[in-house]
Amino acid sequence: MSNDLMKAAVLEKPMTMTVKQVRRPSPGPDEALVKIYCIGVCGSDLHYYEHGKIGRYVVDRPIILGHELAGEVIQVGDQVTNVTVGDRVAVEPGVTCGHCSYCKSGRYNLCSEVVFMATPPVDGAWAEYAVIRSDFLFKLPEGMSYEEGALLEPLSVGFHAMRRGRVGPADRVLILGLGPIGLLGIQAAKLFGVTEIIASDVVPFRREMAFKLGATAAINPLEGKMSEQISLLTVGHGIDVIIESSGSSSAISDTIGLVNRGGRIVYIGLPTVEKVPMDINLLIDSELDVFGVFRYANTYPAAIQALKRSEIDLRHSITHKFALDDIQEAIDVARNEKDKSIKIMIYPDREHAENSNHN
Ligand SMILES: [Zn+2]
Ligand SMILES: [Zn+2]
């Protein structure tokens, strides 16, 4: 099997994507070969496509993008015991060293040795097959679709944010910025038992999506003072936890004045400016807890269990589906129709793109 080829979408250089035959990877002793059913398009993929780099990660040779995937195990190395051929699995795309203090303490997202799919020079999975270390594969329970398996990846960021912010059922939560992370963050909040979720974005379509995904209110930050809108919606109770996923530097600055005294703020969205002004006096005076979020750790098993017991369907966030052959069209939609597209799903098998129903 090792000499076979597979179809993959390769970013040759920024703005140049070609679908072509590449070598199909073969699994080592502790790895499995996964036949990919579907793969999401992420903001980071688009960023590499457009700019060829994110921070210190630079595309200096052709790379396969994509890291939100699920599929079927079709071959395993001889040391693999947790999955077998035929298993439907979600793939956690960051493989860690397993030995450093972060890995051993459970915060493996901070491991400096992490090998993360579609982060140069590591190939991703806009392809027919991927090889992954088997401890990063998670069996999908019966009734959970491949699409939901793939969406566990962006959901995990919100899930991790809820854990970081110690979010619980009694909290009133405000989610700023309704891209895929913020929108799936609404569903993550629901999985943590939150019943009052206020979502905020300037784009009307995204606010509509927020309702569809379970927000109790969706506000436009440009329509009057945020603090007044929040006060009205919460009947004066205010917000206990803010999940900031917009990355807007003014939104980030404003969080400190928006959350209740003693409240918690979780920052996910990366601002494009280097430094953001913050009212530290107010932060101290209000005894705020602030948290950063970098990817996630140990979210897949918990999220799968939580989803199994819930009515939540992650697929509501999917707005478009494309065959892998049409990856350019998918990228164009993602770049040019930001107001109408949320999560775009890619299918190596065209029939799956056309026949799988959702929403
Ligand atoms: Zn992603
Ligand atoms: Zn490590």
Percent helix, strand and coil across the chain, each to the nearest 5: 30, 30, 40
Which tens digits make up the pLDDT trace of 99-148? 999 999 999 999 999 999 999 999 999 999 999 999 999 999 999 999 99
Same domain, 170 and 279: yes
**Is 63 in a helix, a strand, or coil?**
strand
Same domain, 134 and 21: yes
Same domain, 32 and 88: yes
As given in the structure block, the two tokens for residue 210 are 């927020």
Answer for the pair 329, 304: CB distance below 8 angstroms, yes or no: no
Domain assignment present for 301: no
Which tens digits make up the pLDDT trace of 4-56? 999 999 999 999 999 999 999 999 999 999 999 999 999 999 999 999 998 88
Same domain, 15 and 112: yes
Same domain, 199 and 174: yes
pLDDT at residue 359 tops 50: no
Domain count, the chain: 2
Same domain, 195 and 87: no
Same domain, 279 and 163: yes
Q: Which domain holds residue 43?
A: 5-139+313-355
Can you tell me which residue has the tokens 């009694």? 170
DSSP 109: G
Domain assignment present for 148: no
Domain boundary among 261, 292, 323: 292
For residue 74, report the distance from its CA to the centre of ligand 1, in Å: 24
Confidence of residue 338 (pLDDT cuts 50, 70, 90): confident
Pairwise CA distance, residues 254 & 286, whole Å: 14
Helix axes 43-51, 327-336, angle to 10 degrees: 100
For residue 15, report the distance from its CA to the centre of ligand 2, in Å: 33
Domain assignment present for 308: no
pLDDT at residue 308 tops 60: yes
Which tens digits make up the pLDDT trace of 138-182? 999 999 999 999 999 999 999 999 999 999 999 999 999 999 999
Same domain, 58 and 96: yes
pLDDT at residue 358 tops 70: no
Domain boundary among 258, 292, 326: 292
For residue 157, report the distance from its CA to the centre of ligand 2, in Å: 19
How many CB atoms sit inside 10 A of residue 293's CB?
22
Pairwise CA distance, residues 337 & 22, whole Å: 30
Same domain, 128 and 218: no
Of 326, 319, 48, nearest in space to 203 by CA: 319
For residue 68, report the distance from its CA to the centre of ligand 1, in Å: 6
**Is 132 in a helix, a strand, or coil?**
strand
Output the domain CATH number for residue 87: 3.90.180.10
Rg (Cα) of the chain, in Å, rounded?
20
**Is 331 in a helix, a strand, or coil?**
helix
Domain assignment present for 149: no
Domain assignment present for 23: yes
Q: Which ligand has its closest atom nearest to the C-alpha of 112?
A: 2
Same domain, 97 and 54: yes
Same domain, 275 and 331: no
At 147, the amino acid letter reads: E
Domain boundary among 292, 321, 338: 292
Output the domain CATH number for residue 180: 3.40.50.720
For residue 295, report the distance from its CA to the centre of ligand 1, in Å: 9
Residues near 194 by Cβ (< 8 Å), separated by ≥ 6? Answer: 167, 168, 169, 171, 172, 173
**Is 263 in a helix, a strand, or coil?**
strand
Domain assignment present for 344: yes
Domain assignment present for 145: no
Q: Which ligand has its closest atom nearest to the C-alpha of 297?
A: 2
Tell me how long the chain is. 359
Can you tell me which residue has the tokens 């919460």? 234
For residue 118, report the distance from its CA to the centre of ligand 2, in Å: 19
In DSSP terms, which residues pair with 323 in a beta bridge? Answer: 347
pLDDT at residue 3 tops 80: no
Domain assignment present for 306: no
How many CB atoms sit inside 10 A of residue 124's CB?
27
Same domain, 173 and 250: yes
Confidence of residue 357 (pLDDT cuts 50, 70, 90): low
Pairwise CA distance, residues 13 & 59, whole Å: 7
